[in-house]
Amino acid sequence: MTRTPLRPLARILDARQRGENPDAIERENLRLRHEAMRDSARRRAEGRLVVLAGAFVLAFGVVGLRMGLMAAAEPQEPRAELAGNPIVGQRADITDRNGRVLATNLSTYALYAQPPKLIDRVGAAKKLAAIFPDLDEERLVKDFTGTRKFLWIKKKVSPEQRQAVHDIGDPGLLFGPREMRLYPNGRLAAHVLGGASFGREGVNSAEVIGVAGIEKAMDDTLRNPARGGAPLVLSIDMTVQSTMREVLYGGMRLMNAKGAAGILMDIDSGEILSMVSLPDFDPNDRPRPLTKGDAGDSPLFNRAVQGVYELGSVFKIFAVAQAMELGLVGPNTLVDADAPMKWGRFTLREFQNKNYGPLLSVSDVITKSSNVGTARLALQIGPERQKAFLDSFGVFDPTPVELVEASGAKPLLPPKWSEIVAITASYGHGFSASPLHLAAAYSSLLNGGTKVEPTLLKRDGAPSGNRLVSERVSRASAKMLRQVVLEGTASFGRVPGYEVGGKTGTANKPIAGRKGYYKDKNINTFASVFPADDPAYVLIVMLDEASDNSGREPRRTAGWTAVPVAAEVIRRTAPLLGLRPKIEPVAASGVTLASE
């Protein structure tokens, strides 16, 4: 670019000759120069704007393109991630309190058929029936030759069976991967675990859902992927559970009982260390519920939780504890126990028409299990206060334990809590509760007097519940229960080394559908606590229709049936729980010093 001088000499001289002002030329040139400078500055600015706009268009274009790509692309697992995916099972394992497996998953296959693809329909049916003896050959032939396009043949097949089906070699027989629930311990904790089965089924996978017990109650937790496959830890101790089941089963057979139930509970935390109900079943092969007859006769029935029975004298301790709590009596106060006692048109008798009266100390009312004595105490307490007291122990509501059956087991109560109800309730008749209710109530009474909620899940430390009775009453109650074992109705409950305390309960079974009670069918219960001087565990043993036939005539009281079984349970389980027996001092050997 050539630069024009502001005062070109030729034009200046020219202008001077014409007598014009030469400054006008300079101003004119200056103006032109300024205009040219302005134009070039504008051009540069415009260029920059275009570049900037281009950059923006490019940047936003990239973002938009990427968004579109992401929205349209198929979802894909991140491949370059470091950690492997630890979640294998769709359902979390269940373990006992020490991490031993109670329920786990196993991958297996389901067998299905697509009849249109079958080559030899009749032959395939015949060979299948040979592999699976429970399949009906004729039915298979009918299904295969009919119009069906698809049918399930077996929900779970073992690897050997799968190989055998492979060996048939028919392209119409196909396998779908399945995850099945496995209970490696079989019957061990059948009623606690319940069972599982398949929910919605597809060819490539099937839902595993809980059908009973804790599997159903905690279904959402077990299937929650956010837990990352962490197992559900129960409060059950497998060793104790196994021992309890073994002893109870032996006891049930020895005592000719129809069923048995046992609950061992940690007295402070309410954790159930063992819960057994007999007869039981194999959760791997859960039997069908009974379609007729009494549901209580099915092995699926959990006597410990679902069985609401009139449990009898085991509830006497609550009448006594309340009377002590209210300050009406002390352990040594004498009460009227003259039997038979008349109340309106009712006559109250003792066991075998005995009479422990006329006066009996409160402690002896429990030791001798006097109906009249507790009835007198109940009348002193009054029906309302008694009902409220029992209610505070949770005896009238379904237990909050994590079993799907628990909410259905509502205790049966008389509609009106009159004085005669109060009298019968004082010795455990006229209302029904389950052994689990009893276990929780005993724990609450004897752990120092604070409310305990039973649970099947492992707890860290003991939660502090509401205070129900004072510590003094709690200790006095435990002492009375100890007396029952030392010199009362539960003398078979003595276990050397462990101070067992407990109360027996013998109740006649009500006749189903009619008024009245069976004379020769009992529910025998022993509610025990050990060690009695510093209660740590509560054990409830219940036998259904037990009778000890070793004597001249059958003995059907709890003292002869449930108590020896419970004592054996304690003898076997207490060492497993880490309780050291109190070693009685060894008698000095007969050595005499020579100097004497």
Partner 1 sequence: MRLLLYVLPGLAIVALAFWAYSENYETQKSLSRVRDLQRQIGIEHETLAILRAEWAYLSRPERLRDLADLNFTALGLMPLLPYHFAGVDQIGYPPEDLGPLNGTITLMSETLP
**Binding region for partner 1 (CB under 8 A):** 79-81, 84-86, 88-89, 100-101, 104-107, 182, 184-186, 188, 238-239, 242-243, 246, 495-498, 571-572, 574-576, 580-581, 583
| Distance, CA of 248 to CA of 568 (rounded, Å) | 9
The least distance separating partner 1 from the CB of residue 76, rounded to whole angstroms, comes to: 11
Identify which of residues 8 and 89 has a Cβ nearer to partner 1 in the complex.
89
| Distance, CA of 310 to CA of 11 (rounded, Å) | 134
Contact in structure between 277 and 188 (CB atoms under 8 Å): no
Q: Which residues pair with 198 in a beta bridge?
A: 208
Phi-psi region of 499 (alpha: psi -120 to 50; beta: other; left: phi over 0): beta
| Distance, CA of 320 to CA of 12 (rounded, Å) | 135
**313 in active site:** yes
Closest CA relative to residue 403, chosen from 149, 210, 215: 215
| Identity of residue 276 | V
Distances in Å between the alpha carbon of 437 and those of 53, 402, 444?
78, 14, 11
User: Could you tell me which residues come within 8 angstroms of residue 556 by beta carbon, excluding any fewer than 6 positions away?
Assistant: 506, 520, 522, 524, 546, 547, 548
Identify which of residues 70 and 583 has a Cβ nearer to partner 1 in the complex.
583
The least distance separating partner 1 from the CB of residue 81, rounded to whole angstroms, comes to: 8
Identify which of residues 100 and 166 has a Cβ nearer to partner 1 in the complex.
100
Identify which of residues 104 and 256 has a Cβ nearer to partner 1 in the complex.
104
Closest CA relative to residue 434, chosen from 296, 268, 283: 296
The least distance separating partner 1 from the CB of residue 184, rounded to whole angstroms, comes to: 4
The least distance separating partner 1 from the CB of residue 308, rounded to whole angstroms, comes to: 30
Identify which of residues 393 and 530 has a Cβ nearer to partner 1 in the complex.
530
User: Could you tell me which residues come within 8 angstroms of residue 229 by beta carbon, excluding any fewer than 6 positions away?
Assistant: 86, 87, 88, 89, 92, 93
Q: What are phi and psi of 415, to 5 degrees?
A: -65, -35
Query: Residue 385, exposed/middle/buried by CB under 10 A (0-12, 13-18, 19+)?
Result: middle
The least distance separating partner 1 from the CB of residue 554, rounded to whole angstroms, comes to: 30
- The one catalytic residue in 277, 313, 432, 477 is 313
Identify which of residues 116 and 186 has a Cβ nearer to partner 1 in the complex.
186
The least distance separating partner 1 from the CB of residue 353, rounded to whole angstroms, comes to: 39
Q: Which residues are catalytic?
A: 313
